[in-house]
Amino acid sequence: MIRFLLKRLALTLPTFFALMFVTFVMIRLVPGDPIEVRRGERGISPERLEQLRHEMGLDQPIWKQFVDYVWAILHGDFGTSIVSKTPILHEFATLFPATLELTFCAMIFAIVLGIPAGVIAASRRGGVYDQSLMGLALTGYSMPIFWWGLILILVMSNTLHLTPVSGRVDLIKFYYEPVTNFMLIDSLLSGQKGAFWDALHHLILPTIVLGTVPLAVIARMTRSAMLEVLEEDYVRTAKAKGLSTYRIIGVHALRNALIPVVTVIGLQIGGLLAGAVLTETIFSWPGVGKWLVESIGRRDYPALQGGIMLISTVVIMVNLIVDLLYGLINPRIRHAK
C-alpha cells in the first residue's frame, strides 16, 4: 500500500512542473499587460510604464522570470497579487474554504441523490422510474448553470421567500470574525443563536445549482455500471441462491458497480473546485473560481499562477485519494503488480 502511495506521489511531480510551466507561459501569451490593462481610457506614458514594469520584474527575459518564480515557489513563496498587493497564499487561504464548503455540500447532495437514483433506474430498467429518472438526469446535465441559478432565485427567494438570495449568512443579523473561513464552522464557533441555521439556509440554493450536473452524471454512471454488474454470473448465482433483491443489489452488485462511479466523483470534484465560477458569481460566493477569472481579466499573473498551482495541488490530492479508494473497494487493484 505504501509503495503504491509513493509511486503515485512520484508520478505527480512531473504533472506539477508541467502545470507550472504551462500556466506561466499561457498567461503571458494572452495579449495585454497587467499595468496597461488597469489604465482604461487614461493610458500611461511609456516612461512610467517602463518604470512600473521594471519594479514588477516584467522587463526581465521570460526564462529569468520563470526561474525566479520556480525558485520562489520552492521556498514556499507564491508571490503577491499585483492588484491587491496581498500575498497569494493569504488570499487563497481566505477564499478557498468557501469553495471547499460549497463543493463538499454539492458533492454530498449529488452522491446522496445520484447513487440511489441510478440504482433505482437500473433495477427498474425500461420502466417508468428508469425513463423519468434518466430524463431528469439528462435535463440536469444539459441545464445552463447561470439560468438555473437565476430561476431558482426568482422562484425560491423572490416568489416563495423560502431561501435567501445570495451570500453566506445574513449580514445584518449576524456578525462574527471568521476563524476558519468555513461559514458552517464559524457560525457554530460564534455562539450566536440561529447563525448556523442561517448559514445552512444560505447554502441550499448554491448547493443545488452546483450539485445538479454532478448529480446527473453520477446517476447515469451508477445506472450503467449497475446494469453491467447485474448481468454478471455472480449476481445470477446470488439470485439462484434465493437472496433478496435488496441484498443482491445493496451488498453484491453495488460495491462492484461503485468503482467507475468513484472515478467519476473524483473527476467531478476536480471540476467543481475550479469550475464553480458561475455558481460563485450568481450567489456572491467568495470563492477561488471567481477570483481566478477576475485575475485573468486583470492579468494578475501572480494570483493566476499561484491560484492554479494551489488548486491543482488539491485536485491532484483528490485524485490520489480516489486512487486509494479504488484499492479499498477493489482489492485486485491494490494487489496488482
Partner 1 sequence: MKFKTLFGAALLASTMLVAGAANAKSLVYCSEGSPENFSPSMNTTGTSLDAARPVYNTLVQFTPGTTQVEPGLAESYEVSDGGKTITFHLRKGVKFHSGVNGFTPTRDLNADDVIWSFGRQWKPDHPFAKVSGGSYDYFNDMGMPDLLASIEKGADDLTVVMKLNKPNAPILANLAMDFATIQSAEYADYLMKKGTPEQFDQIPVGTGAFSFVAYQKDAVIRYKANADYWGGKPKVDDLVYAITPDATARYAKLQANECQVMGYPNPADLAAMKANADVQVLEQAGLNIGYLAMNAQKPPFDKVEVRKAIAMAIDRDAILKEVYQGAGQKAKNPIPPTMWSYDDSTVDYEYNPDKAKEMLKAAGVEKLDTDLWWMPVQRPYNPNAKRMAEMMQADLAKVGINATLVSYEWGEYRKRLQAGEHQMGLLGWTGDNGDPDNFLAVLLGCDKDGKPNAQNIPKWCDAKFNEDITKAAEITDPAERTKLYQDAQKIHHDQAPWLNIAHSTVFEPIRKEVTGYKVSPLGKHEFQNVDVAE
Q: Return the amino acid letter for 289.
A: G
CA distance 142 to 214: 11
Please pick, from the candidates 260, 271, 275, 286, the single residue that binds partner 1 as defined by CB under 8 A. Answer: 286
Q: Give me the helix-helix angle, 2-29 and 301-329, nearest 10°.
A: 150
Residue closer to partner 1 (CB basis): 156 or 320: 156
Residue closer to partner 1 (CB basis): 36 or 232: 36
Residue closer to partner 1 (CB basis): 199 or 253: 199
Q: Is 13 in the site for partner 1 (CB under 8 A)?
A: no
Q: Is 78:309 a contact under the CB 8 Å cutoff?
A: yes
Please pick, from the candidates 41, 74, 75, 337, the single residue that binds partner 1 as defined by CB under 8 A. Answer: 41
Shortest distance (Å) from residue 153 CB to partner 1: 5
Interface with partner 1 by CB under 8 A: which range of 19-27, 91-99, 249-257, 258-266?
A: 91-99
CA distance 207 to 282: 12
Between the alpha carbon of residue 289 and those of residues 141, 278, 293, 304, the distances in Å are 20, 8, 6, 11
Residue closer to partner 1 (CB basis): 112 or 162: 162
Residue 221 is placed in which grid cell?
Answer: 454512471
Q: How many residues bind partner 1 (CB under 8 A)?
A: 48
Shortest distance (Å) from residue 65 CB to partner 1: 18
Interface with partner 1 by CB under 8 A: which range of 230-238, 241-249, 279-287, 302-310?
A: 279-287
Question: What single-letter DSSP state applies at residue 239?
Answer: H
CA distance 228 to 226: 5
Between the alpha carbon of residue 164 and those of residues 96, 98, 284, the distances in Å are 22, 17, 12
Closest to 83 measured CA to CA, from 282, 228, 298, 268: 298
Residue closer to partner 1 (CB basis): 45 or 142: 45
Q: Is 192 in the site for partner 1 (CB under 8 A)?
A: no
Q: Return the amino acid letter for 62.
A: I
Residue 262 is placed in which grid cell?
Answer: 468513484
Q: Is 265:107 a contact under the CB 8 Å cutoff?
A: yes
Shortest distance (Å) from residue 70 CB to partner 1: 24
Interface with partner 1 by CB under 8 A: which range of 127-135, 278-286, 315-323, 326-334?
A: 278-286
Q: Give me the helix-helix angle, 62-74 and 2-29, nearest 10°.
A: 150
Binders of partner 1 among residues 59 to 88 (CB under 8 A) are 83-86
Please pick, from the candidates 16, 65, 66, 178, the single residue that binds partner 1 as defined by CB under 8 A. Answer: 178
Contacts to partner 1 by CB under 8 A: 31-33, 36-43, 45, 48, 52, 55, 83-86, 91, 94-95, 98, 150, 153-154, 157-158, 161, 164-168, 171-172, 175, 177-178, 281-284, 286-287, 290-291, 294
